[in-house]
Amino acid sequence: MRDAESGHTLDPGGYEAELRRHDRVLRRSWDVRPGDHVFDVGCGIGQTTREAARTARAGGALGVDISAPAIERARELARAEGLRNVAFEHADAQVHRFARQRFDLAISRFGTMFFEDPVAAFANIGRALRPAGRLVMMVWQSPERNEWDVAIRQALAGPRGPIAAASAGPDPFSLADPPAVTRMLEAAGFAGIAFTEVREPVYYGPDVTAALGWVRGFTHTRETLNRLDPAAAARAVGRLRETLSAHLRDDGVWFGSRAWIITARRR
């Protein structure tokens, strides 16, 4: 999962590998045209931005993210690939003053769930789109529909059941409810809102040790383990290892997941 508080977005191997099956579905939904100008919200280290730029050969792509280290890494990777029609900006898409009506398409891969004021954020994104400009974003469905979240939380909780909730923070499932999201996007100036279900597994690593290292980087995992005494934390890590072992296949550790691709157009 994309974790707003972790360093996972700086790992081009782990995070991109985790979502590789989602990426194939998402790219088809973008329908980027050669002359398009694309705006990538919450771009992380910019893989999706660079992919869009390669397709928009006569146009270009701008990636924005609130993580300055991620943006710097994105620029390095774009330079290494020799892409000249891509740019990256350290910015908060909720409040940043983007050029009005500059873009044909706004995209996001699990990068729009963390806005403090989603209506204001999507209205700001909409102002950057040309009239009838498109929005295509992928978000998680509800946590109970995502095997990875259910399994990790159960392993951390153990036989005594749920433990005290972590401190309030970014919610990766904030855009899971279609009726609520539809109202939100309509209030922000979008129309033609549609939801397409995506059922693709997430990949956590080639073996249990790699997967455990990956999962321990998730904000919820890290905060939970930090709140436990050393002995309880060790037992929780042991349960996590057992859970990951149960999901090990010949080609690595996989968990079921369910997401939405949400599409809309600016009114």
Residue 16 neighbours by CB distance under 10 Å: 16
Distances (CA, A) of 30 to 39, 200, 256: 11, 18, 23
Contact between 88 and 96 under an 8 Å Cβ cutoff? The reply is no
Contact between 49 and 61 under an 8 Å Cβ cutoff? The reply is yes
pLDDT digits (tens, 9 = 90+) for 177-192: 999 999 999 999 999 9
Query: What pLDDT was estimated at residue 12?
Result: 47
Q: What's the mean pLDDT in 70-94?
A: 97
pLDDT at 131 over 80: yes
Query: What pLDDT was estimated at residue 202?
Result: 97
pLDDT digits (tens, 9 = 90+) for 213-264: 999 999 999 999 999 999 999 999 999 999 999 999 999 999 999 999 999 9
pLDDT at 204 over 60: yes
Query: What pLDDT was estimated at residue 163?
Result: 55
Q: Mean pLDDT of all residues in the chain?
A: 92
pLDDT digits (tens, 9 = 90+) for 137-173: 999 999 999 999 999 999 999 876 655 444 456 799 9
Q: Is the dihedral of CA 245, 248, 252, 255 positive or negative?
A: negative
Q: How far apart are CA 122 and CA 125, in angstroms?
A: 5
SS3 (DSSP) at 257: coil
Higher-confidence position of 37 and 15: 37
Q: How far apart are CA 153 and CA 73, in angstroms?
A: 31
pLDDT at 7 over 50: no
Query: What pLDDT was estimated at residue 6?
Result: 42
Query: What pLDDT was estimated at residue 14?
Result: 75
Instruction: Domains for the chain: give ranges and CATH numbers.
Output: 8-142+170-203+255-266 (3.40.50.150)
pLDDT at 83 over 70: yes
pLDDT at 9 over 80: no
Q: Categorize the per-residue pLDDT at 200 as very low, low, confident or very high, splitting at 50, 70 and 90.
A: very high
